[in-house]
DNA sequence: AAAAACTATATTGCACACAATTTAATTGCG
DNA sequence: CGCAATTAAATTGTGTGCAATATAGTTTTT
């Protein structure tokens, strides 16, 4: 009935390839800061708002503790953050930037611009694409209806 | 000089989040076939053209042998492909579908449609988004100019 | 107040990604 | 021919992602 799906026609592969290509573009710039790409994203969140819990960070990045706990431990080992149990609720772990973590912010500020310079992309197009991707993510993220659900 | 980049403004994060959200949507459908998402992509390529080498597959998927070798070994262990040294050049490894691997094609054919049904996305928009992502990938993938290169 | 239910993180196990190195086969050159 | 250079996979090591489970702390219920 349906034809076999072709790789080049799949939005899913276009997304997957674009995401990895983007990460590859960031890598040399992030190497200079000693950060991996997901670590950079976590730092972006912390630079916006310090002292979030692991859960807060996970909500923002859409990552769970299985991913974040080891990532944050590596950031701690690198001296960029501190992980401390929240006194008011010992279940929560506060992630706070160290002075070194704060300082990295200055260097990171140059990254988006340097990336743009290397790729001759038009900012307006990027903004539109970004917003379309956000809309797509929102639609993909709605709760999946259970097979045969009848409420 | 530059402001600290904000997570929500970054195209890179929109891409990263969308790609993972898409993979998450595929997961339950692929679980039914016993495939992971990258394995599914590899199978898509093989259903289009059987008997490719590891390198050919890697070129198509933009993945290197460090990723593909274990992935293909798992597909072989699952009985979906055979890995054989090419007689004309023993360095190359031919990947060929088994009868079982060919048979899976029929079930896979229903997947893209089922995914669309679950997400009320308009096909025309998706096609356009896909093509924009391909263009982005192409621009991100051009050879990175060396710092201070003067040809 | 003690048990049960709930919540936040951590741990474990598996499967990618990707850099760097290794191994084996082939090609090219003197 | 003989050997250096090249090529194709495989291997090794690190860092995600994510499901499933475990642990510890908190709240709710009886």
Alpha-carbon gap, residue A123 to A116, rounded angstroms: 8
Alpha-carbon gap, residue A84 to A53, rounded angstroms: 9
Residue (of A105, A106, A112, A117) closest to A81 by Cα position: A105
Chain B residues whose beta carbon lies within 8 Å of the beta carbon of residue A1: 109-110
The SS3 call for residue B93 is strand
Mean pLDDT of the residues in chain A: 92
Report the pLDDT value the prediction gives residue B143, as an integer from 0 to 100. 65
Q: How far is CA A35 from the centre of its chain?
A: 13
B112 contacts: CB under 8 Å, gap ≥ 6? A2, A5, A10
Report the pLDDT value the prediction gives residue A148, as an integer from 0 to 100. 31
User: B144 — contact with chain A (CB < 8 Å)?
Assistant: yes
Task: Verify if strand C has an atom below 7 Å from the CB of B65.
Answer: yes
Alpha-carbon gap, residue B4 to A108, rounded angstroms: 7
pLDDT tens-digit readout, A46-96: 999 999 999 999 999 999 999 999 999 999 999 999 999 999 999 999 999
Q: How far is CA A94 from the centre of its chain?
A: 19
B145 to chain A: closest CA residue: A118
**Sign of torsion, CA A144 B127 B114 A62?**
negative
A96, containing H or E segment? strand A89-97
User: B147 — contact with chain A (CB < 8 Å)?
Assistant: no
Do A45 and B7 lie within an 8 Å CB cutoff? Answer: yes
Q: Which of A4, A13, A48 sits opposite B41 (nearest CB)?
A: A13
Q: Which of B6, B15, B110 sits opposite A133 (nearest CB)?
A: B15
Q: What are A85's strand-pairing partners? A: A93
Do the beta carbons of residue A141 and residue B22 sit within 8 Å?
Answer: no
Residue bearing the bigger pLDDT, A112 or B146: A112
Tokens of A134: 């956000």
Q: What does the pLDDT profile of chain B (151 residues) look like in tens digits?
A: 778 899 999 999 999 999 999 999 999 999 999 999 999 999 999 999 999 999 999 999 999 999 999 999 999 999 999 999 999 999 999 999 999 999 999 999 999 988 887 777 788 989 999 999 999 999 999 764 433 332 2
Report the pLDDT value the prediction gives residue B118, as an integer from 0 to 100. 72
- The spacing between the Cα labelled CA in B87 and the C1' in C30, in angstroms, equals 29
Tokens of B140: 């991100």
B110 to chain A: closest CA residue: A2
Query: Which of the residues B8, B19, B106, B132 would you substitute to probe the A interface, choosing the one with the greatest number of A C-beta atoms within 10 Å?
Result: B19
User: A146 — contact with chain B (CB < 8 Å)?
Assistant: no
């Amino acid at each position: 009935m349906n034809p076999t799906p072709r790789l080049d026609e799949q939005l899913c592969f276009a997304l997957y390839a674009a995401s990895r290509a983007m990460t590859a573009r960031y890598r040399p710039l992030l190497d200079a800061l000693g950060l991996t790409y997901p670590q950079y994203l976590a730092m972006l969140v912390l630079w916006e708002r310090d002292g979030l819990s692991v859960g807060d960070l996970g909500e923002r990045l859409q990552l769970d503790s299985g991913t974040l706990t080891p990532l944050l431990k590596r950031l701690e080992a690198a001296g960029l953050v501190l992980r401390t149990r929240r006194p008011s609720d010992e279940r929560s772990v506060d992630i706070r930037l160290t002075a070194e973590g704060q300082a990295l912010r200055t260097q990171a500020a140059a990254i988006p611009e340097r990336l743009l310079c290397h790729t001759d992309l038009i900012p307006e197009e990027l903004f539109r694409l970004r917003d379309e991707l956000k809309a797509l993510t929102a639609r993909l993220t709605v709760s999946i209806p259970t097979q045969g659900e009848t409420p």
